[in-house]
């Protein structure tokens, strides 16, 4: 047994490809039945990490434990993991039935029992009746389901998914997200999901590890990642956000007073340890935490005047871009029904932005 | 005014100059070869126009020619042996150079492919010296040895394009689903490159079947078909028989090579 009781445990795992450090001393613990996502831009090491779990690569140093067993000496075909490949890797020379039954050879089931399990798996992924088709006779979404069924029929302890929804169009992708989540709850298997799509990671996961340059920047629930990112980099990667440089001018008990570039003077809780007098820090505001008004809001002390520059119509909402004095970048504001609509405002007109103290995200300077 | 077919895509519009060029090119390639079957139906010993009268006489003659059949069987035996051995080596060679990272891969591929560019006569002389030095008697086996050497590059080239055409995540998926390397090879790799294997077998057979120079140097007392034909050319009256035989070989070679190329293209993806 490993020293702790977590189901999957990566302990100081590194992977170098020659000079390139793909995964840099990563330690992660994942609970049984968790839907865990590895999120990051391409080249951040997330796929390498998944391939280390599957056994297609061996770590340069560190150890991976699954259900208490060290994995480094165990080849892929003996690991309790199964994988859904990015391109699905459906065998083209055999039909869907044979693809799904591929992993059952060693179980030496009878023909009838094997077909029963295959039919069960097909039903689970809603592909009943497609068993006799070949890979080139089904759509991308269906291939993805075959790949899922083929992996799940092995009843793995861990299912590894390498950007399985990346090749699907937006509508199908959203449908599959819901199905995938429902499926995971039904089968109760631990899912480790690799994606570069932050929205997908937030929608699906119990927990997300945000990765960059082979490192984990933050590992937390989607809510925590969105509302309390630990760094400018994480905040920037998860959703849209406005950053403002700030100087801590005074600490008064549990409050800190900031002088910001663009937002004026702002009070924040002094709870974070990098909030020291005279320290340079960064504060951030999500577009939906800002209100766009024609007059200052009397309910909050935080109002600044700006000039409307452009707007972007996004269908269900609009984003407005406002420039304020003392801040180089335009500030993104989500237009809400209660606020003012785009038509009533001319480009260049004077507007007010207002926000609440608790909406401010406090970050260390990068 | 010239009418331009507007409903034909730009890239598909006919070009008369190119069409003429294509016809001339094909004529240049094949007319000399076509003289062979043409004169094999000529009822005269000498190759000259005009053709006196048509006959199947030379084909009937061939049918009753015992030494010819012995030579044919020698060639078939050598061809089958060579195609099996060269393809067997080609499969593993192609898998190795397309699947694994190894030091000096470029030079290794270059060395394997070298027999393609080494003149046959040089290869023949070199092998003859080697075989004599080692003290092996010249026979159909020594011919087969030489043929394997020239066939492996063709087999490799055919199979490498097949291996490169399929995603290595297929093999990873098999491993992931619980199969070791051996079973993965049998259940995934080999079935997926199978059209390439067939193509390689056919191609190697044809090359061995038609090959003359190495067979000439490395042959013992049993002749292969090309050696037999060469021998017959000494007797002018036998020339029409050789033409008939040549015509048969031509047709069979064409069919086999076309079939193997067709196989290579089958379900690439």
Query: Is residue B44 a contact partner of residue B236, using CB atoms and an 8 Å limit?
Result: no
Size of interface A-B (CB pairs under 8 A): 67
Which of A218, A236, A254 finishes a domain?
Answer: A236
The residues in B 100-139 lying below 8 A from A, measured between CB atoms, are: none
C-alpha distance across the termini of chain A, in Å: 39
pLDDT for the residue B14: 77
Domain count, chain A: 2
A226 and A275 together in one domain:
no
Minimum CA–CA partner of A103 in chain B: B177
List, for chain A, all residue ranges whose pLDDT scores fall below the cut of 70: 1-5, 336-345
Cβ–Cβ contacts within 10 Å for residue B26, how many?
10
**Better pLDDT: A255 or B264:** A255
Task: Inform me whether the C-beta atom of residue B201 falls under 8 Å from chain A C-beta atoms.
Answer: no
Q: Which of A163, A182, A172, A183 is nearest to A38 (CA)?
A: A163
A165 and A254 together in one domain:
no
pLDDT for the residue A326: 83
Q: Which of A204, A203, A202, A236 is nearest to A217 (CA)?
A: A236
Q: Residue B176 and residue A81: Cβ atoms within 8 Å?
A: yes
Q: Residue B180 and residue A81: Cβ atoms within 8 Å?
A: no
Least confident of A107-111, A356-360, B43-47, B225-229: B43-47
Nearest CA distance, A91 vs chain B (angstrom):
7
A82 inside domain = yes
Domains of chain B, first to last: 12-55 (no CATH), 66-265 (1.10.3720.10)
pLDDT for the residue A102: 93
**Which residues, other chains included, contact B229 with Cβ-Cβ below 8 Å and sequence gap of 6+?**
B242, B245, B246
Average pLDDT over residues B190-206: 90
- Nearest by CB to residue B175, choosing from A76, A87, A154, is A76
Predicted TM-score (pTM) above 0.90 = no
A1 inside domain = no
Average pLDDT over residues B77-88: 95
Dist CA A71 CA A59 (whole Å): 10
Cβ–Cβ contacts within 10 Å for residue B158, how many?
27
A55 and A28 together in one domain:
yes
A200 inside domain = yes
pLDDT for the residue B188: 92
A127 and A29 together in one domain:
yes
Cβ–Cβ contacts within 10 Å for residue B107, how many?
9
A2 inside domain = no
CA torsion sign for A19, A23, A26, A32 is: negative
A247 and A228 together in one domain:
no
Q: Residue B175 and residue A75: Cβ atoms within 8 Å?
A: yes
Residue of A81, A92, A136, A150 to mutate, interface with B, max B Cβ within 10 Å: A92
Domain that holds residue A24: 8-236
Task: Inform me whether the C-beta atom of residue B165 falls under 8 Å from chain A C-beta atoms.
Answer: no
Four-point Cα dihedral A214, A217, A219, A224, nearest 10: -150
Contacts of A105 in chain B (CB under 8 A): 178-179, 183, 187
Dist CA A155 CA A119 (whole Å): 15
A3 inside domain = no
A257 inside domain = yes
Task: Inform me whether the C-beta atom of residue A80 falls under 8 Å from chain B C-beta atoms.
Answer: no
pLDDT for the residue B5: 58
Instruction: Write out pLDDT tens, residues B212-221.
Output: 999 999 988 8
For position A267, which CATH number holds?
2.40.50.140
Tokens encoding A102 = 């591929």
A353 and A270 together in one domain:
yes
Q: Residue B192 and residue A154: Cβ atoms within 8 Å?
A: no
Task: Inform me whether the C-beta atom of residue A98 falls under 8 Å from chain B C-beta atoms.
Answer: no
Which of A236, A265, A287 finishes a domain?
Answer: A236
Secondary structure element (H or E) that encloses residue B95, with its range:
helix B66-99
Instruction: Write out pLDDT tens, residues B121-151.
Output: 999 999 999 999 988 888 888 999 999 999 9
Instruction: Write out pLDDT tens, residues B232-254.
Output: 888 877 788 888 888 888 888 88
A203 and A170 together in one domain:
yes
Give the burial string for A149-182 (b: 16+ CB within 10 Å, else e): bbbbbbebbbbbbbbbbeebeeeebeebbeebee
Dist CA B183 CA A106 (whole Å): 11
**Better pLDDT: B85 or B46:** B85
A52 inside domain = yes
Q: Which residue has the tokens 């995938």?
A: A180
């Amino acid at each position: 047994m490993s020293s702790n009781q977590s189901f999957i445990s990566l302990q100081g795992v590194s992977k170098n490809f020659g000079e390139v450090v793909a995964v840099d001393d990563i330690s992660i613990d994942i609970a049984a039945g968790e839907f865990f996502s590895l999120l990051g831009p391409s080249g951040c090491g997330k796929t390498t990490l998944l391939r280390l779990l599957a056994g297609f690569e061996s770590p340069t140093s560190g150890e991976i434990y699954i259900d208490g067993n060290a994995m480094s000496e165990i080849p892929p075909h003996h690991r309790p993991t199964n994988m859904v490949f990015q391109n699905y890797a459906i065998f083209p020379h055999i039909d869907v039935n044979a693809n799904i039954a591929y992993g059952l050879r060693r179980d030496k089931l009878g023909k009838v029992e094997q077909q029963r399990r295959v039919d069960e798996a097909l039903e689970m992924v809603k592909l009943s009746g497609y068993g006799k088709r070949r890979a080139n006779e089904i759509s991308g979404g269906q291939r993805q389901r075959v790949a899922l069924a083929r992996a799940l029929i092995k009843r793995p302890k861990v299912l590894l998914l390498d950007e399985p929804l990346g090749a699907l169009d937006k509508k199908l992708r959203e449908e599959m997200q819901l199905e995938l989540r429902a499926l995971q709850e039904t089968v109760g298997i631990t899912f480790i999901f690799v994606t570069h799509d932050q929205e997908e990671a937030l929608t699906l996961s119990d927990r997300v590890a945000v990765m960059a340059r082979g490192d984990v920047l933050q590992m937390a629930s989607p809510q925590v990642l969105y509302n309390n990112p630990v760094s400018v980099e994480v905040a920037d990667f998860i959703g849209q956000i406005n950053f403002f440089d700030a100087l801590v001018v005074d600490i008064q008990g549990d409050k800190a007073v900031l002088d910001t570039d663009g937002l004026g003077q702002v009070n924040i809780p002094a709870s974070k340890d990098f909030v020291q007098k005279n320290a340079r820090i960064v504060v951030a505001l999500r577009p939906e935490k800002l209100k766009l008004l024609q007059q200052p809001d009397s309910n909050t002390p935080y109002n600044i005047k700006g000039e409307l520059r452009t707007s972007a119509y996004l269908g269900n909402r609009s984003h407005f871009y406002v420039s304020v004095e003392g801040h180089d970048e335009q500030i993104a504001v989500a237009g809400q029904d209660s606020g003012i609509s785009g038509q009533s405002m001319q480009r260049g007109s004077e507007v007010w932005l207002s926000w609440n103290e608790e909406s401010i995200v406090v970050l260390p300077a990068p | 005014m010239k009418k331009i077919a507007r409903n034909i895509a730009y890239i598909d519009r006919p070009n008369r100059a190119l069409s003429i060029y294509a016809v001339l090119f094909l004529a240049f390639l094949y007319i000399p070869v076509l003289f062979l079957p043409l004169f094999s139906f000529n009822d005269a010993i000498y190759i000259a126009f005009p053709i006196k009268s048509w006959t199947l006489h030379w084909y009937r003659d061939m049918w009753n020619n015992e030494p010819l059949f012995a030579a044919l069987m020698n060639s078939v035996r050598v061809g089958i042996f060579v195609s099996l051995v060269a393809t067997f080596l080609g499969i593993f060679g192609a898998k190795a150079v397309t699947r694994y990272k190894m030091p000096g891969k470029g030079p290794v591929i270059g060395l394997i492919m070298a027999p393609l560019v080494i003149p046959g006569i040089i290869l023949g002389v070199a092998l003859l010296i080697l075989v004599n030095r080692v003290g092996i008697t010249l026979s159909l086996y020594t011919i087969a040895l030489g043929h394997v050497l020239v066939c492996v590059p063709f087999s490799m080239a055919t199979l490498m394009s097949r291996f490169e055409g399929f995603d290595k995540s297929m093999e990873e998926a098999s491993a992931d689903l619980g199969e070791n390397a051996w079973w993965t090879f049998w259940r995934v790799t080999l079935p997926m490159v199978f059209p390439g294997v067939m193509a390689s077998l056919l191609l190697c057979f044809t090359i061995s079947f038609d090959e003359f120079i190495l067979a000439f140097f490395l042959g013992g007392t049993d002749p292969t078909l090309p050696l037999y034909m060469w021998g017959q050319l000494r007797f002018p009256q036998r020339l029409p028989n050789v033409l008939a035989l040549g015509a048969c070989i031509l047709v069979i070679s064409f069919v086999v090579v076309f079939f193997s190329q067709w196989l290579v293209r089958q379900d690439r993806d």
